């Protein structure tokens, strides 16, 4: 017969994943978008620095809330830090080629092997850190959110994307379109202090060449990098028993 104390412990264990999921969804899909929209419509231009700091902190919370303290948890943290650093470096190395960058590939690979929260964190940190070189501005928070979402969605689809070149390529195209559309939407909201459908449609058309280049580059880098990097990550995860 299960003791009341043990039974209560089991119930608590079952509740934890649900609580973590609620916290993650609330932060990523309610708090962060609300702060970004408020920053674009209500606050002055220079407020982007405070919004960027707030988003950086909020991006960390879902990851650490979902992080399980395992024997080799430090190894997992180091691996995710390395992937984030490589993602940042990849953007810097391809600075001379607008739109043609491995960032999305690195974010997606991180999400596939370490989960949706790690994918969001890698995407968000890549934007904010690399923009110290490319230039910080009111666009930084939305870049953080957009690349973060690309990582989060990849984490949700991880089991389907892993090892499937066709689906991985489709996701690369989707990520390119998704990034371009959301950044164009932010541009309209920022400059119009609201949403203007005509301006948005014009931006989509004018940005089409960039969108195509970005989508194609995503596919190329995903096909080139996913297998070698994925195999190395999986080898380390198996060695240390990291889930």
Q: What is the CA radius of gyration of the chain?
A: 19
Range of the domain at 176: 4-240
Token reading at 173: 């195209």
pLDDT digits (tens, 9 = 90+) for 32-88: 988 887 777 776 556 788 889 999 999 999 888 877 655 567 888 999 999 999 999
Higher pLDDT, 191 or 76: 76
Domain count, the chain: 1
What was the pLDDT predicted at 231? Answer: 95
What was the pLDDT predicted at 190? Answer: 75
What was the pLDDT predicted at 209? Answer: 93
pLDDT digits (tens, 9 = 90+) for 150-179: 999 999 999 999 989 999 999 999 999 999
Output the 3-class SS for 152-185: HHHHHCHHHHCCCHHHHHHHHHHHHHHHHHHHHH
Rounded Cα–Cα distance for residues 139 and 37 (Å)? 12
Check which CATH number belongs to the domain holding 163 and give it. 1.10.1760.20
Distances (CA, A) of 102 to 93, 160, 164: 9, 21, 19
Residue 164 — left, alpha, or beta (φ > 0 → left; ψ -120 to 50 → alpha)?
beta
* Mean pLDDT, rounded, for 213-238: 95
**Counting Cβ atoms within 10 Å, is residue 10 exposed (0-12), middle (13-18) or buried (19+)?**
exposed
Residue 6 reports pLDDT greater than 60: no
Residue 2 reports pLDDT greater than 80: no
């Amino acid at each position: 017969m299960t003791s009341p104390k043990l039974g209560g412990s089991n119930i608590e264990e079952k509740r934890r994943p649900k609580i973590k999921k609620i916290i993650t969804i609330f932060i990523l899909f309610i708090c962060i978008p609300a702060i970004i929209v408020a920053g674009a419509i209500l606050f002055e231009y220079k407020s982007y620095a405070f919004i960027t700091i707030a988003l950086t902190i909020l991006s960390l919370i879902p990851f650490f809330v979902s992080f399980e303290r395992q024997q080799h948890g430090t190894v997992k943290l180091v691996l995710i830090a390395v992937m984030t650093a490589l993602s940042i470096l990849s953007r810097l190395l391809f600075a001379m080629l607008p739109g043609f960058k491995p960032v999305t590939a690195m974010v997606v690979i991180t999400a596939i092997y370490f989960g949706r929260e790690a994918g969001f964190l890698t995407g968000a940190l890549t934007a904010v850190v690399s923009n110290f070189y490319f230039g910080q501005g009111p666009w930084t928070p939305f870049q953080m959110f957009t690349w973060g979402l690309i990582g989060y969605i990849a984490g949700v689809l991880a089991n389907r994307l892993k090892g499937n070149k066709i689906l991985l390529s489709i996701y690369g195209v989707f990520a390119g379109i998704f990034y371009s559309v959301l950044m164009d939407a932010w541009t309209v909201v920022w400059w119009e202090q609201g949403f203007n459908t005509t301006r948005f449609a014009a931006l989509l058309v004018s940005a089409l060449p960039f969108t195509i280049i970005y989508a194609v580059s995503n596919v190329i880098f995903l096909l080139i990098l996913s297998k070698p990097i994925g195999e190395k990550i999986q080898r380390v995860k198996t060695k240390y028993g990291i889930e």
